[in-house]
Structure 1
């Protein structure tokens, strides 16, 4: 393990041997619309080290997710291990720091000044949380590959929406959203035949009130949001190599044909377009 540095002056050191795969919002309008300043994947060497001190407009809010390897992050004034399955969530305007041990693979979303995902985040201090890192890894690589190859606008939009939504999901426990608990329940069982009445009952709202709140928070109706969540999960599963039949069942469709038809209607492309190389 590399040396744990105690110097907390402003540092931005990528290091020799680090490979960055950057995703710029000018190549993906959806990221720009959601106030994402930059995103990417870093295969970090042991020299990789960042310290973000408090100064006007800085630091910006960020989500950093470890895919593989091991690093350390500053939490409550102490360095703690950040390993595969950990997300380091750092709010804007607060000192934070992180550094790699050898072979640290991370993905990250950096937000514009004054923003941190959809709605208002209630994160007050840097925190380390556990999660499944695979969906964000697949989405970042999918978006990076599309930018590097075809740059088809519809595909860029869909990959961008998935990246943004996964960032929002990580931030959900700190949101002021009235519906995040509802969507977490839906995400836990996307194969269920959800109805508007059932969603309303789970949310504790009437059907019309649920519709108004949902449109205000997500821009779409409750059932359209269910479809969006299903398709986001479907893209993650397809890009991870799952067969269409298995994906269809996992996200609530009777058969592969019905799923493929809905997928193309929603995303403007067949499932095969999201298959990893």
Structure 2
């Protein structure tokens, strides 16, 4: 038993969780997924398992909480995915009563995902999981009978989830050489980064950084940086009362106008509109 955490499952106030089992979804069973689910933890949420019997991954897609992985606690923010092998303690909790949203996928023992090298030891990865989160939510709602979704849509959801898992655990996970770099950058998003300074922090040449980044993220270093900044901005807008100029400063933009323009290019809507849509969605979830 891990002495740092204790086995518990405290849902807290206002927490809502939804799951879909492979017992009633053949597409999940065929993919080697035991079950998938998502939750919107509220104040006081704390769930911990000291000796889990299955491999799984969990990904945050809104708000911010904390996650226990590999023996340490760390912020659980949009863009973060944790790989949790069986028999390794894991936990998640809300912080200061702030809400967050995440989803999880548990694998069968004979699943090819469970055998992935990325799931042999606990680790943290970065990935855009918004589309996969939407697919998991759709599956869960379908299982509850809340939506009359055709079976072909159910299969499409599982296909989207497995495509994301393939990239996360196989294509992207070949080396993961830039994960240490992005973890450092996340804590310094207000810095005036460019490709040269990122390369210096990574200990490689700018040309080599571009090559590795293209292999691992299918994007340039600066596009990856923009993704991290925008996802952090979403977190700040959902769990704090910061004004837009402060959010802009915290994410490395000179003023709110530059930030707003960059955010609209990234998300398709202005920051204020995105926040309205987010609040509407979470109130209905």
Q: List aligned pairs for 1:100-139, cutoff 5 A.
A: 100-101=94-95, 102-113=98-109, 115=111, 117=113, 120-139=116-135
Instruction: Please state if 1:43 is matched with 2:43.
Output: no
User: What is the TM-score when the length of structure 2 is the normalising length?
Assistant: 0.53
Q: List aligned pairs for 1:14-163, cutoff 5 A.
A: 14-54=11-51, 58-101=52-95, 102-113=98-109, 115=111, 117=113, 120-147=116-143, 148=145, 149-163=147-161
Gaps of 5+ in 1: 1-5, 177-183, 190-239, 242-277
- Three-state SS of the structure 1 residue aligned to 2:27 is helix
Change (3 A) 1:187 1:73: closer
- Three-state SS of the structure 2 residue aligned to 1:32 is helix
- The RMSD of aligned alpha carbons is 3.1
Counterpart position of 1:253: none
Change (3 A) 1:122 1:188: closer
CA distance in 2, matches of 1:10, 1:68: 25
Q: Deviations over 1:118-154 (max 9, x none)?
A: 7533433321211112111222233334443225222
Task: Give the aligned length.
Answer: 177
Change (3 A) 1:168 1:12: farther
More helix by share: 2
CA distance in 1, matches of 2:118, 2:66: 23
Determine which of 168, 178, 195 is the counterpart of 1:170.
Answer: 168
Whether the aligned pair in 2 keeps the contact of 1:28 and 1:160 (CA below 8 Å) is no
- Three-state SS of the structure 2 residue aligned to 1:92 is coil
CA distance in 1, matches of 2:216, 2:7: 42
Gaps of 5+ in 2: 176-213, 220-266, 269-285
User: What is the TM-score when the length of structure 1 is the normalising length?
Assistant: 0.55
- Three-state SS of the structure 1 residue aligned to 2:9 is strand
> By how many angstroms is 1:82 displaced?
1.1
> By how many angstroms is 1:13 displaced?
2.6
- Three-state SS of the structure 1 residue aligned to 2:47 is strand
CA distance in 2, matches of 1:61, 1:118: 6
